[in-house]
Structure 1
Amino acid sequence: MPVQARSPSNMRPSTVHLPQGQWLTVLDCLCAHFSGVTREVWVDRFERGRVLDADGVALGLEHPYKTGLRVHYFREVPSEIVIPFDEVVLHFDEHLMVVDKPHFLPVMPSGGYVEQTLQARLTKRFANADIVPLHRIDRHTAGLVLFSTNVQTRGLYQALFRERKIIKRYEALAKALPELTFPLLRKTRFGPGEPFFRMQEVEGIANTETRIEVAQKLGDQWLYALYPVTGKKHQLRVHLAALGAPICNDPFYPEVIDAQDTPDDYSKPLKLLAQGLEFIDPVSGKERSFQSQLSLL
């Protein structure tokens, strides 16, 4: 009888559709497709039932290769660093979860983070593999993240972000800019930067927009209220840095201070907080408003 397999922590697996090639087995294809993962690691995953077909049945080492075959697998990182900060669930119902994410914790698995992610922690804590983030914030950023807890209504909440029907308020601590007039609307075009994980402003039609206000003047530093209209990668960090006020403790802007693989300095969190979210709930029709319990000061 085929073996039905699940991750020990109820983690959602990653998925790959096998590319066209001349391999004999699924194992051979995965080894070639993911060259950064050794054959020994893939064999170990197969033997522990962590490589599955589209129906969730564990595949054997000799399972024949087929172009387009959908394969699920569970990513693992040996000796994964434990992030020593806890998330706080602010709201939980049959459709929606609102969580205060600490600094340094990724929202979803990526790179060297699998179990030490907000999604993985919540999935394990609530034994629910249907907990899926509706949006993301940077690993270095703290604050509010919305999760769908019900696949049936997930699309309704995803549409709020796609159609820009959510008011997002961030706070950032950065250098004072007394020479500028606020509120200020920053509209610029983003393109890839150097190194590969950075973004930069480039010439062309604007594809980013942020309204910037001064929330509190604290001498040489000000607390800014940021309202992003668009949601490009590193948008708030790039916009403030371009104005001459990079966010305090930013390791990437305006210059790279720490590379991505540099160990985190927990004493210097990025002073950026996803502070508030407001929207009309697409299920209940009620106004919803959530505020982070965290503070940058």
Structure 2
Amino acid sequence: MTRRSHVPPSPLPQLSGIDPVRLRLPPDPQEKWPTLGAYLTERYADTRGAESMARLLSAGRVVGPGGRVLRPQDAYEPGGWIFYHRDMPAEPPVPFPIGVVHRDRHLLVVDKPHFLATTPRGSHVFQTALARLRRELDLPTLSPAHRLDRMTAGLVMFSIRPEDRGAYQSLFQDRLVRKEYEALAVHDPAVELPRTVRSHIEKVRGVMAAGEVPGAEPNAESLVELTDVRDGLGRYRLTPHTGRTHQLRVHMNSLGLPILGDPVYPVVAEPADPTDHRRPLQLLARTLAFTDPVTGLVHHLESGLTLQAWDDRPGWETGPTLPTEPT
């Protein structure tokens, strides 16, 4: 059994809520890479990060344990650690607040607005719920218990203390959280509801849309219920019993009821202007119900957000409506 090497604490602080990169050097002998610069040049040779890493090294922004500044000519240290913050391009702001629904010493549950990613990924780093909450609430050890799609609004749970992180993440891994979503789509009286939709969903990395595999063993299950109808528009309650990527969006589309404002289903649209927030996906994580694994308290939390298309008024595309005060 291979023992996991000890990870030294980072000598660099968070930058706008983002942790520095921690990189362990391979344990290969020094003869393979006589200098740190030689190793990093080879590691990033075929990526767009090569020039960026060279700039970081020359500017003294790559450090070792204890904060010692590392230079390209420094000797390669097999199994050593280096730390640095990536150069990140400016990100268009997501101009909606994050509402606090519940907070105690251990747990934070918030209302994430549309267009805001839960955690850093790809081009969304500083404009994410995790980074913003760390900054705005001064909670540097905050970590997500689960994730919500960037295009979906509603309830997201975070662990405040590192020692509680595993307990809250296990709630979702063990399916001990009851989640209900609200969605708006056209009303088709020919679609018989309520209905439990089961299928095999696969999401290929780098491909925008997930797909259903006909005949394969189901790995995704959703209960779809119609709760109201107004002027040809349906309001639906969606209860996922599994957690596949884009599951609710895929299942609604398979019923011929694609969710209003969806840029992926049934057809992948051209990339939108990242500053255009006029047509949010009309999908909302409405409720979370669970027993807190740390405190033992039973929670039933409800989002304070609304889906604008249901209000039947011009301008619903401007984004989610948040309560004046946190719920």
Taking structure 1 as the reference length, the TM-score comes to: 0.88
Greater displacement, 12-21 / 217-226: 12-21
Q: Tell me the equivalent position of 1:106.
A: 117
- Partner of 1:205 in structure 2? 217
CA change 1:50–1:200 in 2 (3 A) is: farther
What CA distance in whole angstroms lies between the structure 1 residues aligned with 2:230 and 2:82? Answer: 54
Q: Distance in 1 between matches of 2:202 and 2:138?
A: 39
CA separation of 1:93/1:64 partners in 2, compared to 1, >3 Å: closer, same or farther?
farther
- Confirm whether residue 268 of structure 1 aligns to residue 275 of structure 2: no
Cα distance in structure 2, aligned partners of 1:281 and 1:170: 21
Equivalent of residue 200 in structure 2, options 189, 202, 210: 189
Contact 1:216 1:223 in 2 (8 A): yes
- What do residues 73-112 of structure 1 show as CA deviations (whole Å, max 9, x unaligned)? 4334222211212211222211100111111011111111
Amino acid at match of 1:257: A
Structural mapping, 1:1-297, within 5 Å: 4-18=11-25, 22-34=32-44, 35-46=46-57, 51-53=62-64, 55=65, 57=67, 59-62=69-72, 63-65=74-76, 69-192=80-203, 196-203=207-214, 204-259=216-271, 262-296=273-307, 297=310
Work out the CA distance in 1 between the residues paired with 2:245 and 2:41: 31
Alignment size in residue pairs: 293
* Amino acid in the other structure paired with 1:215: T
> Secondary structure of 2:264's match?
coil
**Paired residues of 1:6 and 1:50 also in contact (CA < 8 A):** no
1:183: Cα distance to partner?
1.6
Deviations for 1:31-87, whole angstroms, at most 9, x for unmatched residues?
A: 54444434442244346665455x563551234445654544433422221121221
Report the alpha carbon displacement of residue 176 of structure 1 after superposing the two structures with TM. Answer: 1.2
| Partner Cα distance (2:47, 2:133) in 1 | 28
How far apart are the structure 1 equivalents of 2:68 and 2:286?
42
Change (3 A) 1:288 1:37: same
Q: Give yes or no for contact 1:275–1:292 (8 Å, CA) kept in 2.
A: yes
CA–CA distance in 2 between the matches of 1:119 and 1:36? 27
Q: Which residue identity does 2:166 align to in structure 1?
A: G
The answer to whether the Cα contact below 8 Å between 1:183 and 1:214 also exists between their aligned partners in 2 is yes
Separation in 1, partners of 2:69, 2:242 = 42
CA distance in 2, matches of 1:138, 1:171: 14
With over 3 angstroms needed to count, the CA separation of the structure-2 counterparts of 1:128 and 1:263, relative to structure 1, is: closer
* 8 Å CA contact retained: 1:5, 1:49: no
SS of 1:241's equivalent in the other structure is: helix
Distance 2:139 2:35 in 1: 32
Q: Distance in 2 between matches of 1:50 and 1:94?
A: 35
Moved more, 64-73 or 152-161: 64-73
Q: 1:96 to 1:180 in 2, by over 3 A?
A: same
Identity percentage of aligned residues:
37
SS at match of 2:183: strand
Change (3 A) 1:191 1:124: same
Q: Which amino acid letter does the alignment assign opposite residue 70 of structure 2?
A: G
Q: Within 2, Cα distance between the matches of 1:242 and 1:194?
A: 21
* Cα distance in 2 for residues equivalent to 1:47 and 1:151: 34
Q: Which has the larger radius of gyration?
A: 2
Matched residue SS, 2:249:
helix
